Amino acid sequence: MSAVLEIRGLDKRFGGIVVADAIDLTLSAGRVVGLIGPNGAGKTSLFNLVSGIFPADAGTITLDGERIDRLKTHRRAARGLSRTWQNLRLFPSLSVLDNLMVGPRHYPGEKLWRLAFDRGGVRRREAETRRRALDVLERTGLAAVAKTRAADLTFGQQKLVGVARALMNESRCLLLDEPMAGVEGHAYETMQRVVRDVAASGVAVCVVEHNVAFIRDLCDEGVFMFAGKVLARGPVADLIADPRLTELYFGT
Amino acid sequence: MEYIYTLVILIALGVVLASSFNLIIGYAGLVSIAHPVFYAIGAYVSALLARDHGVPVPVAMILGALAAMAASIAVALPSLRVSGDYLLIASIGFQLGLLEAIKNVSFTGGAGGLTNIPPFLIQTAGREAYVALVVGVAVLTVLLTRSIAHGPYGRALSAMRDDELAFAALGRNAVAMKVAVFALGSGLAGLAGALYAHYFRFVTPEQFELLQSAAILTMVVVGGIRTTWGPVVGAILLQALPQAITFLDLPVALLGPLQGLLFTGLVLVFMFWRPQGLVAAGEFWRPSREAPDVGRP
Ligand SMILES: Nc1ncnc2c1ncn2[C@@H]1O[C@H](COP(=O)(O)OP(=O)(O)O)[C@@H](O)[C@H]1O
Ligand SMILES: [Mg+2]
């Protein structure tokens, strides 16, 4: 079991609010870790710290043994870190397919000079990216809506687009922020299968989720967060059964 | 005939300025109105190199465009690194500061303007050849903008405008893309400046001031921001209208303010009546050629 993402002693506070308090967390290849905790516990903030949306006050983050905590967001993604967002953040002016086309770790058309001096190369890699995007859409059950604009889909499908877009990175580590919130029926099963397949391919996955059934069925391990702290770590069933944690979770 | 040639050249230069500005403010969504300062840099650098340093005009023109590009990177890079909001302030400061400097040093001709700029092509190949050159540059600019806007780069710019954070989290370098577009657009403005200088053979600092900023902005907004043809339509309209006004035989002192009023008036009218401009952009990004079928069942 090899460590892919290692977080050590991560601290972050916004004024008086502590969102990360000496967090240690390791994500390993092929395993799905469920991150649970009440609203405001700091789960999304942890993802934001890892992906570099805002800097940590202290601590280190390594991806495949290399420090990434000083890198800008886009550089971390280029090293093989991908994520989704609790509030979707799809690109409304793009079709589903084009949302995915922007997602590969190295984007063929990102450099203007390439468009001038390496047109053939850009075209080849566009075609390749397109094939991969169509393949991912197939796997996520979205092939039929490839040319639809994301905003016209059902909420569940939009959540799937978010995950599909993150898969384009072919990342080493995937962070999913509440992928099941608002998702039901067909999309629910698809989401489970997709996450399971991604982990099976050797990706280290971390899922923030309130849906207990989803976490229990899918995760190899659970991590309980509260007030910026990791309070417990272990089999999901044990965490759910712990009365102390349930009390914190439901805030009685 | 010469009058027609001059008008065609002014329109074609307007097309270069408006299309390149559309790349910056439209497709990249960068807030800046200092486009004329890069137009000025192209004009002054090319004119001075050719007149005072014996550089052949075509080479001087290219160096003028490159100087504008270099200056634009120097302005954009530090401000965009901090935050997009600083670009507007930094670029306007640069525009006002540089024009003030041009007015106050002697080798640029000062406030009176730079005279005796060497001509190009006209004595050897005729005025028509120069018209063809400028129109050719305008056509190439429009084609270039179109191919950028509807290719992979344009798709990425569209995503960046939609959500810069999500864009960065996918591995895209938004700052680098913004600087690149700003540099390309400003370089094209510089080329337009050089083409202007060696045709009219006289430039003054005041023609690159805020009135010019307003004119270029109006061309883009009235014509249709984020479209291929909008800036072209806008440039034709905005270059032809002031010419029409000059036919009214008004005193010179009135002409400048009248043009300013015209630009502002047009923008206001369009903001209420047709905010998308004459040519409306779709909300949806489209690739240039409908790419191979994606197998929609
Ligand atoms: N950028 C920010 N600035 C200030 N406070 C923030 C910021 N991001 C998150 N917070 C605060 O941090 C706490 C944890 O939020 P969050 O990480 O979104 O929790 P969770 O995802 O576990 O529900 C909340 O109190 C939230 O208001
Ligand atoms: Mg959250």
Residues of chain B with Cβ-Cβ distance to A103 below 8 Å are 170-171
> Which ligand has its closest atom nearest to the C-alpha of A223?
1
Mean pLDDT of B102-115: 94
Q: Which atom of ligand 1 is nearest to the CA of A41?
A: 22
Gap between the Cα atoms of A161 and A153, Å rounded: 9
**∠ CA B92-B97-B100 to the nearest 5 degrees?**
130
Range with lowest mean pLDDT among A142-146, B74-78, B122-126, B151-155: B122-126
The token pair at A85 is: 């967002």
User: Can you give the pLDDT at residue A252?
Assistant: 56
DSSP at B280 = P
Tell me: pLDDT of B120 over 70: yes
Task: Please report the number of interchain residue pairs, chain A to chain B, with beta-carbon separation below 8 angstroms.
Answer: 119
DSSP at A54 = S
Chain centroid offset of residue A193 CA: 16
Tell me: pLDDT of B296 over 80: no
The token pair at A176 is: 């999913």
Mean pLDDT of A208-225: 93
The token pair at B78 is: 């530090």
Residue A249 corresponds to which amino acid?
Y
With beta carbons less than 8 A apart as the criterion, state whether A119 and B160 touch: no
Mean pLDDT of A155-161: 93
pLDDT digits (tens, 9 = 90+) for B128-167: 999 999 999 999 999 999 999 999 999 999 999 999 999 9
Calculate what percentage of chain A has a pLDDT beyond 70. 99
For the Cβ of A40 lying below 6 angstroms from any atom of ligand 1, the answer is yes
Q: What is the dihedral of CA B99, B101, B104, B109, to 10 degrees?
A: -60
Q: Where in chain A is the domain with CATH 3.40.50.300?
A: 1-80+172-252
Gap between the Cα atoms of A84 and B248, Å rounded: 62
Tell me: pLDDT of B293 over 70: no
Mean pLDDT of B51-77: 97
Choose among B163, B169, B173: nearest Cβ to A83.
Answer: B169
Q: Which of A13, A17, A54 to mutate to test the pocket of ligand 1 (most atoms within 8 A of CB)?
A: A17
Tell me: pLDDT of A174 over 80: yes
With beta carbons less than 8 A apart as the criterion, state whether B243 and B236 touch: no
Structural fold of domain A1-80+172-252? Rossmann fold (3.40.50)
DSSP at B284 = S
Gap between the Cα atoms of B31 and B267, Å rounded: 17
At B292, is the pLDDT very low, low, confident or very high (cuts 50, 70, 90)?
Answer: very low
Distance A167 CA to ligand 2 centre (A): 20
Q: 3-state SS string over A77-106?
A: HHCCEEECCCCCCCCCCCEHHHHHHCCCCC
This prediction has a pTM of 0.92
pLDDT digits (tens, 9 = 90+) for B232-250: 999 998 888 777 777 777 7
Choose among B153, B155, B172: nearest Cβ to A98.
Answer: B155
Mean pLDDT across chain B, nearest whole number?
90
Q: Which atom of ligand 1 is nearest to the CA of A47?
A: 17
SS3 call for B141: helix
Gap between the Cα atoms of B55 and B47, Å rounded: 9
Closest by CA position to B58, among listed B124, B111, B105:
B124
Gap between the Cα atoms of B215 and B290, Å rounded: 35
Gap between the Cα atoms of A230 and A252, Å rounded: 20
Gap between the Cα atoms of A101 and B286, Å rounded: 13
Extents of the domains making up chain B: 2-208
Report the nearest-CA residue for atom 16 of ligand 1: A42
Gap between the Cα atoms of A148 and A95, Å rounded: 5
Closest by CA position to A225, among listed A17, A38, A85:
A38
ipTM for the predicted complex comes to: 0.95
Tell me: pLDDT of B7 over 90: yes
* Higher pLDDT pick, B252 / B100: B100
Nearest chain A alpha carbon to B147: A115
The token pair at A60 is: 């280190």
Report the nearest-CA residue for atom 27 of ligand 1: A40
Gap between the Cα atoms of A48 and A14, Å rounded: 13
Mean pLDDT of A187-213: 94
User: Can you give the pLDDT at residue B297?
Assistant: 33
Contact B171 A169 (CB under 8 A): yes
Nearest chain B alpha carbon to A150: B284
SS3 call for B228: coil
Calculate what percentage of chain B has a pLDDT beyond 70. 96
Distance A48 CA to ligand 2 centre (A): 10
Range with lowest mean pLDDT among A39-43, B27-31, B106-110, B272-276: B272-276
User: Can you give the pLDDT at residue B295?
Assistant: 37
